[in-house]
Amino acid sequence: MTILVNNCFKNNYKNLIFFNQTKYNSLLYSLPPKFYLCNPKQSEMFNRGEIIEVKITDFAFGGNGLAKIPTENGDFVIFVENTFPGQTVKARVEKKRKKHAECKLLEIIERSPLEQLNGFQEISGAPYLYVPVEIQEEYKTSSTKDIYRKLGNIRNVPEIFDEFISSPLHYHYRNKMEYSFSCIEHDVYTGEEKDDAFALGFKRRGTWWKVENLNKPSGLFDEEFETKLIQIRDYLKSTSLPAWHPPKKEGFFRHIVVRKSFYQNQLLINLVTSSNDLKKFDATAFGKFLQDLLPGKIAGFQHTINDNVADRAKIENGENTLIFGEPKVIEELLGLKFEISMESFFQTNPKSAEKLYSKALDYVFEGNDLTRKVVMDLFCGTGTIGQILAQRAKDVRIIGVDIVEEAIEDAKLNAERNGIKDVEFYAADVGKFLLQYPEFEGKIGTIVLDPPRAGIAPKTLRKVIRLGADRIVYISCNPATQARDTETLIKAGYQLEKLSFVDQFPHTSHIEAIAKFIKTENYNTDFE
């Protein structure tokens, strides 16, 4: 921690003097405690909105770096999102509690000695781009294990932990990226803010109005496209139509959204603009420019006119026109092919998703006789898991359930396209499924859960438990909610037998988890 309080004999904590770690340590051990503690109330230490400068010394689950201020009442902990041990950072206090403060990262003042600069441009969506991947994975593993101990009350995590599955691609792994325009640019080289600019790239961390030009690849998306984004920016700037002004909610160019098929090595591109001065823009000419710039790589080009003031690039918010090509691409997962439109939900890192699904199905099959049993795929979305399961299973009835009717229709079409016949899809509320289809009661051998990031609502989880499956394989994109649900499952008589982590998003704090639960003789739906 690098904070020393000025004028502390007056208990004035609004003026802070900052030192580097060496100076701080020397002062800390040479001054009497009352000089820098002053018997403060921890809740008075910071104010919301205050800008502070801290040295990050530890790492917590979810990508929160930690700094600690010693007080006579114990450490006051500062959490700064998307930071890493060894960094000195500038941050803004967003929330203040009695014993801790939560902060938003504004600027990295000094890099961690663990970081190694590479040829990619750092963006807010990849805060650990310069941390070696093996170190990222070590921190993700330890901090995620810790969340199961803290939230799930699991004491034997080392014994049940199976493996950490690394992403097959550490760079250029994403299949979708959204780039923003703004006439307010944050210059990545000088740090200056420029008005009346034409910026195309990503939002400056901690802001919603400033954009940093992407001048070289980010390391996350297609390298050829991002290398040529400068030429796309120059072409659009030459039209003399303005980039969007976020505070004023006016301008023309708003977003470029790109979807990639690794199977086809092709891109869908969607340019989002307002309707202001629309007649001055030739979308067909821009489409021809894209085809010449990326020959053979553009599967389709769409233009969306969106006058909604909300800063969102979704097609349903505007009027969409296909300028040329197809409105979809084909992606392949474990031998199955899926049609993906610009708005389709699909795994962002398909190569890693193959590893994720393969591990989940290993948990479904190992030591499990599925003959004449029903396997339920709950929150099935477009039916990916159910179809992959059908490839490996015989004499098994597979049921996919999701409340989103459009997703179920896509699931049926995907299954037909792949010649999968042994899977049925139902548009239904997961929690009410047995009430609507009582014929499945008592016949469900295995449940595969893949809920959204918010996890499973407690009432819905209880209904899932009452289905009485012998085995539950729970896939989670948020281990914190899975850890919470694990405690509930254990109370109901399920044993957490195995746990694995999958890195779907290198250079970020996100991690996915797969848990295997087995019903025990203590199974009881009336638990408290």
Q: How many CB atoms lie within 10 A of CB 394?
A: 8
Q: Nearest 5 degrees, angle CA 164-CA 169-CA 171?
A: 120
Got the DSSP string for 104-118? Answer: EEEEEEE--TT----
> What is the chain's alpha carbon radius of gyration, rounded to the nearest angstrom?
26
Q: Which residue of the set 103, 183, 380, 477 is catalytic?
A: 477
Cβ neighbors of 184 (< 8 A, separation 6 or more) are 193, 194, 195, 197, 199, 209, 210, 211, 245, 246, 247
Give the span between the Cα atoms of 381 and 369, in whole angstroms.
26
The b/e string for 75-97 (b: 16+ C-beta within 10 A; e otherwise) is: ebbbbbbbbbbbbbbbbebeebe
Q: Nearest 5 degrees, angle CA 427-CA 431-CA 435?
A: 80
Give the span between the Cα atoms of 202 and 209, in whole angstroms.
10
204 secondary structure, DSSP code: P
Got the DSSP string for 477-504? Answer: S-HHHHHHHHHHHHHTTEEEEEEEEE-S
Give the span between the Cα atoms of 278 and 241, in whole angstroms.
9
Q: Which residues pair with 185 in a beta bridge?
A: 194, 211
Got the DSSP string for 22-47? Answer: HHHHHHHHHS-HHHHH-S--GGGS--
**Residue for token pair 């997961």:** 430
Catalytic residue check, 477: yes
Give the span between the Cα atoms of 311 and 309, in whole angstroms.
6
Give the span between the Cα atoms of 103 and 59, in whole angstroms.
14
C-alpha torsion sign, points 80, 83, 88, 89: negative
Give the three-state DSSP class for 523. coil
Tokens of 459: 């009432």
> Is residue 346 a contact partner of residue 382, using CB atoms and an 8 Å limit?
yes
> Is residue 390 a contact partner of residue 420, using CB atoms and an 8 Å limit?
yes
208 secondary structure, DSSP code: S
Q: How many CB atoms lie within 10 A of CB 208?
A: 12
Active-site annotation, residues: 477
